[in-house]
Amino acid sequence: MRFLPLPGGALSAVTMATIALLGGLVWGTWKHPEALWAPGDLSRYHADIPDCGRCHAPFQGPIAARCIACHTADRFAAGAKPAVSAAHRRWIETGQACFHCHTEHRGALAQITVGALVNPHGEFVFRATGTHSCGACHEFGPERGSGTRLLDNAPVRRLLEQGKGAHGRGRMARCLSCHSDGTAPP
């Protein structure tokens, strides 16, 4: 099979375009790495992390040792239920990769634990109440699915008062008719 020769100057044009593309990638990586390479916004849990290198190694992705630098076994013991703390301690000791159970870069209000209960009210409820967990408004039974109880505390009372009854029991399913983008209606 014979190929026709390239038109004059084609090789130099391809070379210049390649150099320009690589130069742009190098400049963008150096000047604005998050804008060029980030797959999405961080969750509310990690929004205060200033740069990618705190969690990621170049060309390797997230590194468990970097997660453990912030999320120590002692921190889990102090802030988590005993079963969660024990599981994380085992995973830390065996060097399990955190991203087997946790995801990131799915937005500020995303749930980052794979398989976790999904907020039935929509993630915007955390923003509306100023809370960060379901346990801020609900008390859960000992078994998954064994029922919940609505707490009588400041975030719950504020939500009920501000909604003038719209946030009452059984009415949250219609929330998106007023709060389509997670903010208060006009």
Q: How far apart are CA 171 and CA 32, in angstroms?
A: 45
Residue ranges making up the domain that contains 146: 124-177
Q: Is residue 140 part of a domain?
A: yes
Q: How far apart are CA 184 and CA 156, in angstroms?
A: 16
For residues 85 and 41, state if they share a domain.
yes
Q: Is residue 2 part of a domain?
A: no
How many domains are contained in the chain?
2
Reported pTM = 0.50
So what's the pLDDT on residue 20? 95
Q: Is residue 151 part of a domain?
A: yes
Q: How far apart are CA 156 and CA 36, in angstroms?
A: 41
pLDDT tens-digit profile of 58-107? 888 889 889 888 888 788 778 777 877 888 888 888 878 888 888 888 88
Q: Is residue 14 part of a domain?
A: no
Phi, psi of 115 (to 5 degrees): 80, 5
Q: Which residues pair with 139 in a beta bridge?
A: 149
Return the residue matching tokens 């290198």. 53
So what's the pLDDT on residue 22? 93
Closest CA to 68 of 38, 97, 105, 103: 97
Which tokens is 35 given? Answer: 């804008």
So what's the pLDDT on residue 113? 82
For residues 85 and 139, state if they share a domain.
no
So what's the pLDDT on residue 34? 65
For residues 28 and 87, state if they share a domain.
yes
For residues 26 and 84, state if they share a domain.
yes
Q: Is residue 38 part of a domain?
A: yes
So what's the pLDDT on residue 178? 63
Q: Which residues pair with 62 in a beta bridge?
A: 56
Q: Is residue 117 part of a domain?
A: no
So what's the pLDDT on residue 18? 95
| Cα atoms found within 13 Å of the Cα of residue 156, Cβ hemisphere only | 14
Q: Is residue 3 part of a domain?
A: no
Q: Which residues pair with 102 in a beta bridge?
A: 113
So what's the pLDDT on residue 146? 62
SS3 of 150, please?
strand
The separation between CA 185 and the C-alpha centre of its own chain, rounded to angstroms, equals 26
User: Within the chain, which residues score under 70 in pLDDT?
Assistant: 1, 34-35, 116-124, 142-146, 163-186
Q: Which of 66, 100, 134 is the last residue of a domain?
A: 100
